[in-house]
Chains A and B, each alone.
Chain A
Amino acid sequence: MTDTTEPAARGQDFERSLAQSDTRVAQFAEDRRGVVGTIQHILHGNPTLVPIIVLLVSIGVFGLIAGERFFSPFNLTLIMQQVSIIGMLAAAQSLIILTAGIDLSVAAVMVLMSVIAGNLAVYMGVPSILALPVAFAGGAAAGLLNGLLVTRVKLPPFIVTLGTWNIFYALNLWLSGAQSIRSQDIDAEAPLLKFFGNAVDIGDARITYGSILMFVTFGVLWYLLNKTAWGRHVYAVGDDKEAAELAGIRTDRTLMSVYMLAGLVCAIAAWSSIGRVGSISPQAFYEGNLQSITAVVIGGISLFGGRGSVLGALFGALIVGVFQSGLRLAGVDVLWQVFAIGWLIILAVAIDQWIRKVSG
């Protein structure tokens, strides 16, 4: 690049020859992209932009179809309540998916922990303040089991969590005797378990502590992933585990911490779910695993790991909630909700693939 037309620099006078050299630092060639290319590039740099746009557009469209009932502050905050549990599960799920894994056991861990907390507090007379930490520890332990099987036994996360999903589900049925714990019994024995069902009313808007918890959880995870060394390690492991290993990251330890944190988030979600559902039901959230993956995928987090923002999963969950609420308010049969969400998943991944072409 430094093409000096003068005769070779004299003596040790290197500086002089530099004067005419190119002063630009290394950079990529900037081709002319056109409008589409520019959009593609912007989207590539801002992974949460697509879900935000989809969310805003779908709110607008359903607002037009379903009318002002949809747009009311009450309904918009109701959607937040309705997605608050799946949103928490999606937060846990996105941690695992960022490491190029998948966790089929999130909902089973959550339900199991709610049953444990409920049995301890309602039937065995353990104060809620002690029963809840037991459930949190249980969630982290469930995550640890997944993590150990993935890193030490070296099984694929899909297989590990497919197995533990069944294991946790069976334990949940065994512990609960397949019976729900009634809402009234929880009120009488352990009202603290329903803490996240309380709400703040601002005009018509009703924001439950559970929906606030969801936003706070996403905020904390966003901070951890984007502002700490641990977060960089998670992305590095997800993008290329071997390269991360060579760069000196203790990848197994990072993976283990991710699984444990995800398990802990599921246990916190369990607490929130008691407030939301009222009862502790061993048969609730059977499809929660897949719903959490749906939210993550619609939120633009790559299933191949290492790409996407955890906030995307939040928007993904909200998009699903907006679709369900909008279609129901418009009087559409429930099966068309399922149909629409199916297309959303495919569309989300197709857009993700298209955006990735920028770096390809």
Chain B
Amino acid sequence: MKTLFIGAATLALATGGAWAADIGACLITKTDTNPFFVKMKEGAQQGAKENGIKLSTFAGKLDGDVETQIAAVETCIASGAKGILITPSDSRALAPVVTQARDAGLLVIALDTPFEPADVADATFATDNFKAGELIGQWAKAKLGDGAADAKIAFLDLNPSEVSVDYLRDQGFMQGFGIDIKNPTDIGDEDDPRIVGHDVTNGNEEGGRMAMENLLQRDPSVNVVYTINEPAAAGAYEALKAMGREDKVLIVSVDGGCPGVQNIADGVIGATSMQFPLLMASKGIEAIKHFAETGEKPQNTEGLDFYNTGVELISDEPVDGLPSKTSAEGLKMCWG
């Protein structure tokens, strides 16, 4: 029923007429499967309801599904919407179609994942992903103390296409841990001997397990594991447990989903950086409404090329000089 309604609303918008006064907006997420995007959708729907906006939602089939997202942007332009909120599956490949949308007079806001360059979109509402990585890097370094000098670190990244959210978190972690990151947009060009290797997880448990197994094969003495998100961390933990090494390894992650925060409480993950997808989406909806009424575009956070929706370090083992919240506090503000 819901899709029917949205479809009908889109059609009505496209034909103009009596509906022309309503503000239309589109939300295009990477997938419908990741709870992060499910939550983002909830935030957008809630914001749309409060602001009297007609929201259409679209999603790719899997992370990296560029075609579906391009088609969604095109549909959205055709529907006569005022604005698009999008988490690009590929921060470069979607630039041309997004430029088309802006040329057609739509406000385009990137959520979560910035475009490259960021000014392809009118604005970006996102977690400071580099900062998110940096926090868990600093935490891991402080936790290891003197041991940080000869740590063995495995990197469990997203996928082979090295999208911005992937390299930002990855390189942020390195910065926080004290590794020379070389080219900050390139994963894998570092030569620090503490790096055991990088592998990809597709951001899910199965991929996390496989990648962890592969890296343990390269060096069984891994004692720090950076993971792109908490499902990948859960998979990595299974691999470590199977090899009896789960107590000898620090796992850090990014996301702040409720199962992930619960995994902090259970000692699976040492620390995670929490993001706020609901906020990204509801702020985005407000910005579209503001733009439709006044023509004003949202401003970036000072000193950054995006609007920072905040990040919070969650850990049950706090370290000196690094403010963090406990898992119990985290469970109250987690998403998913």
Interface residues of A (CB under 8 A from B): 69, 75, 78, 81-82, 173, 177-180, 182-184, 197, 199, 206, 273, 276-279, 281-286, 325, 328-329, 331, 333-335, 338
Q: Are B32 and A78 in contact (CB under 8 A)?
A: no
Q: Which residues of B contact A334 (CB under 8 A)?
A: 160, 199-200
Per CB-CB distance, the 9 closest pairs between chain A and chain B, nearest first, are: A278-B238, A284-B206, A283-B33, A279-B205, A328-B214, A281-B205, A335-B160, A277-B206, A178-B33
Q: Are B205 and A178 in contact (CB under 8 A)?
A: no
Chain B residues touching A, majority SS: helix
Q: Are A178 and B213 in contact (CB under 8 A)?
A: no
Chain B CB within 10 A, most for which of A180, A282, A328: A180
Which residues in chain B, 215-229, are within 8 Å of chain A measured between CB atoms?
Answer: 217-218
Q: Are A283 and B34 in contact (CB under 8 A)?
A: yes
Q: Find the A residue at minimum CB distance from B262.
A: A182
The docked-state distance in angstroms from the alpha carbon of A308 to that of B330 is 55
Q: Are B263 and A182 in contact (CB under 8 A)?
A: yes
Q: Which residues of A contact B62 (CB under 8 A)?
A: 283, 286
Known contacts A82-B210, A281-B204, A283-B204; is-contact A173 B32 (Cβ 8 Å): yes
Q: Find the B residue at minimum CB distance from A279.
A: B205
Q: How far is the CB of A37 from chain B (nearest CB, A)?
A: 42
B235 CB–A CB distance under 8 Å: yes
Known contacts A180-B231, A278-B209, A278-B235; is-contact A69 B199 (Cβ 8 Å): no
9 A-B residue pairs with Cβ-Cβ distance under 8 Å, sorted by A, are A69-B218, A78-B217, A179-B35, A183-B205, A184-B268, A279-B234, A279-B235, A281-B205, A334-B199
Q: Are B336 and A179 in contact (CB under 8 A)?
A: yes
Which residues in chain B, 185-211, are within 8 Å of chain A measured between CB atoms?
Answer: 188, 197, 199-200, 202-207, 209-210
Q: Are A331 and B200 in contact (CB under 8 A)?
A: no
The docked-state distance in angstroms from the alpha carbon of A179 to that of B230 is 12
Chain B CB within 10 A, most for which of A199, A273, A278: A278
Known contacts A82-B213, A331-B218; is-contact A277 B32 (Cβ 8 Å): no
Q: Are A75 and B217 in contact (CB under 8 A)?
A: yes
B242 CB–A CB distance under 8 Å: yes
Q: Find the B residue at minimum CB distance from A330.
A: B218
The docked-state distance in angstroms from the alpha carbon of A179 to that of B42 is 14
B282 CB–A CB distance under 8 Å: no
Q: Are B217 and A182 in contact (CB under 8 A)?
A: no
Q: Find the B residue at minimum CB distance from A338.
A: B160
